[in-house]
A and B are shown apart, each in its own frame.
With several copies, the nearest count.
Chain A
């Protein structure tokens, strides 16, 4: 809170927060491998990639202005910073969850069997969203289950208790929980493809004042993703390093990647971002969030506006707080970085 607002000033040093998730591991790896420094130097800036062990806290810190950018899902970007009045731009659509989130039951193998059970999940998260979508598809009402808020750090051990007979989780926790005896995955995010997106978002004002930040981030991302996709020893080495950073084995990390639909090619990412389907997805996410009361105090689901490529908007156009900005991905696609 110094006199000149740091978010509208041109600056040279930026902090980007990240937390452990298969689709976000390229960030710390890029830092470790010197890719971050390479791109930052190119644009004459300095980027600190800071790990936050607790996902929620990383978003809180971003909302509070301690980070200029953060890795986040589309739903949390909408309901946390955007709904909190922080104008946020999603500049990289990294991947969508293609099975990285799932609903697990013990001693049952159909989603319909979830009826009447207590479901352990991180409430008001993408897990909650996935559960809502699953229930909808199974023809169940939200009141057919009772949710128990469970911290993401503890959900694996909580599910180990005989008390817990249903849970919703994401990877890497999901893969561990699935491995327990008598557990079946009855629904997962591959059945709602493209609805759970993993993003890199930055503060809109900062981005406007420092477009170089967006360029550097896009440059870092696509170089790293390209590297990790390689099937040679270099790519394998990169993936092994990421696995280690995530605290797991290369095999487990590869299996997590297999349920992550990475937009390795910037063109694909641009296409996905410009696809009208994104509007539909975000509408669904928004309506769910509003129903759950996540737009604090707002009178309608339209209260928080969203902007999409091609000047399309959703909700209140005078109060746009979340912008899907494809321009940096486009530059990467066109090799202009």
Chain B
């Protein structure tokens, strides 16, 4: 059978997909063991035992100041920032992407501005951000939003403006106004693509979150990573990064599920 036709069943896919990830983990363990054979005190690629030790403190001891377990407090703080940032970015994307995508004059007017904002590296202009938004949660959330929203907006704008012209014409012959076209034709069809854009934005969103937490913070997964980076505590950094990856993959899976549940027409093969 040709490879293009070999479809993999759901359950098998999960198993097959896990193999390369396991191999990656094994490769890591092998390299780590090798380094440790040469230098038992190697810090760069800690062994699982070392990571367990490194994490024990964060997982089982409560912080004196807050009375919370550090690991969970970090997780909670970061997830909150990420969630708010992703939420705001998505909302912006939906609003701006739809308006720019459906209405050509708006696209001509604001499209270039969005492009300019998208290509300005926000981390280069942090000082201005700090002055405008302070150093608290707002600034961190804002950095995430500024980091991911422009890309998402450009993607959704391109998608909406690329909807078949027949559909827009058809809607107009059925009496739809620009607004009605926006909410009844463009919006629902943009939703699956929006969820796709959110999935793609998850990686960058974590990057910006960590950057924000590295700049000025006292809690959060990124804060902890940058704090212990001083001591090359890879025994903490690697579990934290793995945890971030796990959280992100869970979010990704949820987004896929939502898309399949709520927009079956976008996934059903049809003919």
Contacts and interface: CB of A to CB of B under 8 A. Distances in A.
A and B held together in a complex: yes
Nearest to A252: B231
B216 interface: yes
Contacts of A172: 230-231
A181 interface: yes
Given A149-B226, A164-B135, A1 B38 contact: yes
Interface in B208-231: 213-218, 223-224, 226-231
Interface residues of A, number: 58
Interface string A119-153: 01001110000000000000000010011111101
Interface residues of B, number: 34
B173 interface: no
B41 to A, nearest CB: 3
A160 B135 CA distance: 10
A175 to B, nearest CB: 8
The interface centre, meaning the residue of A54, A60, A84 with most chain B CB atoms within 10 A of its CB, is: A60
Contact of B135 (A161, A179, A247, A296): A161
A147 B231 CA distance: 18
A334 interface: no
A258 interface: no
B34 interface: yes
Contacts of B109: none
Given A54-B215, A84-B43, A296 B231 contact: yes
Interface stretch (B75-83, B124-132, B188-196): B124-132
B39 A157 contact: no
Contact of B229 (A84, A85, A156): A156
B53 A57 contact: no
B105 interface: no
Contacts of B126: 57, 154, 157
A294 B227 CA distance: 11
Contacts of A173: 230
A1 B34 contact: yes
A150 B136 CA distance: 12
A228 interface: no
B127 A160 contact: yes
Given A53-B227, A173-B230, A85 B43 contact: yes
A32 interface: yes
A161 B215 contact: no
Nearest to A15: B135
30 contacts: A1-B34, A20-B227, A51-B217, A53-B214, A53-B217, A53-B218, A54-B215, A56-B229, A61-B216, A64-B44, A64-B131, A76-B230, A80-B231, A83-B231, A84-B231, A86-B41, A124-B231, A146-B218, A148-B216, A150-B216, A153-B226, A156-B229, A156-B230, A157-B131, A158-B216, A160-B130, A161-B131, A172-B231, A247-B230, A296-B231
The 7 A-B pairs with the shortest beta carbon distances in the complex, nearest first, are A157-B127, A85-B41, A247-B227, A163-B134, A161-B130, A54-B215, A163-B135
